[in-house]
Structure 1
Amino acid sequence: MPFAIYILGLAVFAQGTSEFMLSGLVPNIAADLNVSIPAAGALTSAFAAGMIVGAPLMAVLSMRWPRRRALLVFLVAFMLVHVAGALTASFSVLLVTRVLGALANAGFLAVGLATAAGMAPPNAKGRATSILLGGITLACVAGVPAGAALGQTFGWRSAFWAVALISLPAVFAVLRSVPDLAPATGGPRAGRELRALRGPRLLVVLALAALVNAATFCTFTYLTPLVTNVSGFSPGWVPAVLALFGLGSFAGVTIGGRLSDTRPTLVLIAGGIALLAGWALFAATAGSPVATLLLVFVQGTLSFAVGSTLIAQVLYAATQAPSLGGSFATAALNVGAAAGPVIGGATIAAGLGYHSPLWVSAVLVAAAFATAGLAEAVRRHAVVAAR
C-alpha cells in the first residue's frame, strides 16, 4: 500500500477521536452547560447530521480542487472549529461547532476514501478502506480513552484542545506525503456520478451500512452511563472500557480488511448473525461487570468487521462514481450515527433505563437482515419475471 494512505489514516485518527470522544464526555458536558444527558448526547447526532449533509456536498464542491488542496482545506477547518468549541460557554455554539466540524470531517473522509481507493491496487479497495477506518478505531483505542481521562482530570474542554493539537502534525504530513492529484473536471461529471449511484445493489448496501452503524452508535454514545449505572463500574473505569471497545473495533477493521476483498459474504452473514446475538446477550447481561467487559470487546469487533466490509462493498459497487462513492459511504455511516443516539436517547428519556439502547441495537441489526432479505426477494422476483 502507498505510504500516503497511512498518512490519511493518521488524519482520520484525529477526526475519529473527535467524533467518538463525546461518549466519555457526555456527563461532564451536560453538567457544565446545564443540559440533560440525552441533550448532550444530541451533540453526537449533530456531528453525524453534519457528516450526512457534508459528505456529498463537500465532495461535489471540491471536485474542481486538486485532492491534496481539498484535504488540507478540510483538515485546517476541522482544527479551527475545535478551538472554537473549546472556548465557548454556550451549548448552542458548541452544537454549531460540532456541525461545522462534521462538514469538514465529511469532506476530508469523502476525498480521502476516493484518494485511497484511487491509489490502491484494483482488487485491494477493502484493504485501503480498512487503513483509513483503522485511524478511527485507533482513535477508539487511544484517542477516546485519553479524551475521557483528560475530561475527568482537566475538564471536557481539554479534550477539544487536544484534538486541535493532534490535527496540526497531520496537516504537515498530508502536505508532504499526499500526491497533488489533478482535480476532477466540472459539473457534468458530478451528474454522471450521481446517476451511477442509483443502482439497486448500491442503495441496499448503503441502507445496510446505515442500520449497522446506527446499532453501534446507539449503544456506544451511552456507554459511559451504561457501565457506571447498570454494570456497576466506577467512573475511573470508563477510559479502560472505552479502550476495550476501541481494541475490539481495531480488531474488527483488521479482520474486515483481510476478508472484505475475498470473502465478504462470510463476514456479512456470519458476522451479522453474531452481532445480532451479541447485542441481545449484552442487553440481558448488562448488570454483570464480567459480561460487560467481554461483550464491549466482542461487539466492537463485530460491529466494525461488518461495517468496514459494507463500506468496501460500497466502493466496489460505485466504480462509476470514484469521487462521490466515498461520500455516499460516509453519509450512510453517519445516517446511522445520527439516528442511533436519537433512538437510544428516546428510550432513556422514556424511562426504559440505560440498558435500553442495547435492545434497540439488536432491533436495528435485525432490521438490516430484514432489509437484505427483502432486497434479495425483490431481485429474484425480477429475474423470474424477466424470463
Structure 2
Amino acid sequence: MSSHREKPARLPFVVPLLALGTFVMVTSEFIIAALLPEVSADLGVSVATAGLLITAFAVGMIVGAPTISIATLRLPRRSTLVLALAVFAVGHVIAALSSSFPIVLAARVIIALATGTFIAVGSVVATSAAGPAAASRAMGVMMSGMSLAIVAGVPLGSWVGQAIGWRGTFWALAALAGVAAMIIGRFIPAAERAEVTPSVRSQLAVLRHGRMWLVLAATALVTGGFMAAYSYISPLLTERTGISEGAVPLVLVGFGIGALLGTNITGRLGDRKPLATFITTSVASVLVLLLLIPLSTSPVATVVLVVLLGVTGLGITSIATPLAVRFGHSSPALAAALTVSAFNLGIALVSWLAGTTLDTSLGVTGPEVVGVVMAGLGLIPLLVLAAMRATRTAVPQVSLPAADEGTSLAHRVAA
C-alpha cells in the first residue's frame, strides 16, 4: 500500500522543464517594474509613460492567451511551446535593439502573447502528463517557476539592469529563452500533442461551462486581492511600517519564498480537495490582508504577513488552472488560456483601482482595503460552486447530457 501511495509523488520530467520556461517568462513580466527609471531615461519618456509597458503586457496576456490558444490548435503542443519561447526571445531582441518607445511597447505585447501561450499550453501539458490525481501538484511545480522568478529572477535582472543597462537584461532574457527552447524541444516527448485536431467550434463550446466561469471569476477576484497589496507594498513598508528602502527587496524575497512554499503545498492539498483548498486559501488571503491594515505599524508582524501573503496569494495558481481545465474539459487549452487571462485581468483591475486609494484618507493602507474587498468577493463564486456540488451530491442519479461527459471527473476534482 505504501508503494501505491509513493507512485503519485513522482512527477514526469516534463513538469520541472516547464517550470524553467515559466521562470524565464515571469521574470520578464515582473522585471520591467524595476527597470522603468532606466527605460524612461534611455528612451526619452516619462516614468509614467514607460509604465505603459506594464499595462501593455497585461492587455497582451488577457486578450492574447485565449486568442493564440485557438490559433495554434493544429500545432503539436511541443512545437507550440518551442515557438512561444522563440517568439519571446525575438521580442526581447527587438526591444533591446530599438531606440523607439512605440516599438518597445509593441515588443512587450508580442512578449506577452508568447508568455500567455506558453503558460496556457504548458499547463495542459503538465496536467496531462501528471494525470488527474496529481494535476494540482504538477501545476504547483510548474508555477514554482513564477515564485523563483520573484525570489531570484527579478533581483538578478534588476542588478544586471543597473550594471549594464535595461538592454542587457533583455539580451539575457532572450538568451535564457533560447536555452529553454532547446531543452524543452529536446526533452518534451513528441507525443505531447493533441491526439485529434479539434475544430474552433468545439473549442468555443467550453464557453458554455458555467462552473468554469465561476472558477475564472474567483481567480480574477482573489488574484486582484493579493496583488492589490503586493503592487503597492513598498509605500506601505517605508511610510507606515518604517522599513528602510534598502530592506524592501529583502521583504519581497520573503514574499517570493512564501509563494514558493504556497504553490507546492497548495498543489499537494489541491489534488485531493481542490475546491475546499481554493476556498480555504482564499479565506486565508482575506485574513492576511485584513490583518495587514492594523498590524502594518509593526515591522515584525508586517514581514510575517507579507510572507504569508505569498503563501496564500500565489497558492491559488496551483488550483485554479487544473480546476478550470477539468470543468472546461471539452477544450483544456482554451480553459487554461482563459485562466491566464483571469489572473491578468485581476492584476490589471487593481493596478488602477488600488492606486487611486493612495490619495484618499485610507493612505498607504488603501490597497489592502481594496484587496480585502476583492478577495472577499472572490469567495462568492467559490461558495456557489460548493453549493452546486452539494446539490449534485444530494441527487446523484440525475442524467446528464452527452456534451457534459467527464462531469464525474469534475465532481471528483471539486470534492
Q: TM-score, normalised by structure 2?
A: 0.83
Tell me what 2:85 maps to: 75
Tell me what 1:108 maps to: 118
Q: Does the CA contact (< 8 Å) of 1:218 and 1:341 recur in 2?
A: yes
The partner residue of 1:196 within 206, 217, 223 is 206
Matched, 1:342 2:389: no
The amino acid of 2:46's aligned partner reads: V
Q: Does the CA contact (< 8 Å) of 2:215 and 2:324 recur in 1?
A: yes
Tell me what 1:96 maps to: 106
What is the distance in 2 between the residues matched to 1:344 and 1:42?
A: 17
Q: Does the CA contact (< 8 Å) of 1:64 and 1:185 recur in 2?
A: no
Secondary structure of the residue aligned to 2:333 is coil
Within 5 Å, give how 1:326-341 maps onto structure 2: 326-341=336-351
CA, structure 1 residues 162+356, in 2 after alignment: closer, same or farther (shift >3 Å)? farther
Equivalent residue pairs, number: 383
The partner residue of 2:296 within 263, 286, 292 is 286
Query: Residues 144-198 of structure 1, C-alpha deviation per residue, up to 9 Å, x if partnerless?
Result: 2222333444444443333223222101101111122345655x63311321342
Matched, 1:273 2:276: no
The partner residue of 2:313 within 280, 300, 303 is 303
Deviation at 1:298, TM superposition (A): 0.6
Q: TM-score, normalised by structure 1?
A: 0.88
What is the distance in 2 between the residues matched to 1:191 and 1:355?
A: 46
Tell me what 2:6 maps to: none
Matched, 1:320 2:330: yes
The amino acid of 1:144's aligned partner reads: V
Tell me what 2:233 maps to: 223
CA, structure 1 residues 158+273, in 2 after alignment: closer, same or farther (shift >3 Å)? same
Deviates more, 1:88-97 or 1:299-308: 88-97
Deviation at 1:265, TM superposition (A): 3.8
Query: Residues 292-319 of structure 1, C-alpha deviation per residue, up to 9 Å, x if partnerless?
Result: 3211101000112234222221122122
The partner residue of 1:35 within 33, 41, 46 is 46
What is the distance in 1 between the residues matched to 2:242 and 2:41?
A: 21
Q: Does the CA contact (< 8 Å) of 2:325 and 2:333 recur in 1?
A: no
Deviates more, 1:25-34 or 1:163-172: 25-34
Tell me what 1:232 maps to: 242
What is the distance in 2 between the residues matched to 1:292 and 1:155?
A: 33
Tell me what 1:261 maps to: 271
Matched, 1:13 2:23: yes
Q: Does the CA contact (< 8 Å) of 1:2 and 1:119 recur in 2?
A: yes
**Percentage of pairs with the same residue:** 36
Query: Residues 47-89 of structure 1, C-alpha deviation per residue, up to 9 Å, x if partnerless?
Result: 1211111111111111111212111111011112123333444
The amino acid of 1:114's aligned partner reads: V
Within 5 Å, give how 1:351-370 maps onto structure 2: 353-370=363-380
Secondary structure of the residue aligned to 2:316 is helix
Q: Does the CA contact (< 8 Å) of 1:59 and 1:327 recur in 2?
A: yes
What is the distance in 2 between the residues matched to 1:89 and 1:292?
A: 41
Q: Does the CA contact (< 8 Å) of 2:95 and 2:103 recur in 1?
A: yes
Deviation at 1:34, TM superposition (A): 4.3
Matched, 1:140 2:176: no
Query: Residues 64-117 of structure 1, C-alpha deviation per residue, up to 9 Å, x if partnerless?
Result: 112121111110111121233334444443332222111011111111111122
Q: Which is bigger in relative contact order (C-alpha 8 A, separation at least 6)?
A: 1
The amino acid of 2:272's aligned partner reads: T
The amino acid of 1:278's aligned partner reads: V
| Structure 1 gaps, min length 5 | none
Secondary structure of the residue aligned to 2:212 is helix
CA, structure 1 residues 28+127, in 2 after alignment: closer, same or farther (shift >3 Å)? same
Deviation at 1:133, TM superposition (A): 1.0
Matched, 1:123 2:123: no
What is the distance in 1 between the residues matched to 2:164 and 2:367?
A: 29
Secondary structure of the residue aligned to 2:332 is coil
| Structure 2 gaps, min length 5 | 1-10, 399-415
The amino acid of 2:351's aligned partner reads: P
Secondary structure of the residue aligned to 2:83 is helix
Q: Does the CA contact (< 8 Å) of 2:226 and 2:375 recur in 1?
A: no
Within 5 Å, give how 1:59-74 maps onto structure 2: 59-74=69-84
Tell me what 1:3 maps to: 13
Deviation at 1:234, TM superposition (A): 3.3
What is the distance in 2 between the residues matched to 1:165 and 1:214?
A: 32
Q: Does the CA contact (< 8 Å) of 2:91 and 2:111 recur in 1?
A: yes
CA, structure 1 residues 374+121, in 2 after alignment: closer, same or farther (shift >3 Å)? closer
Tell me what 1:252 maps to: 262
What is the distance in 2 between the residues matched to 1:348 and 1:288?
A: 20
Q: Does the CA contact (< 8 Å) of 1:24 and 1:238 recur in 2?
A: no
Q: Does the CA contact (< 8 Å) of 1:12 and 1:109 recur in 2?
A: yes
CA, structure 1 residues 357+148, in 2 after alignment: closer, same or farther (shift >3 Å)? farther
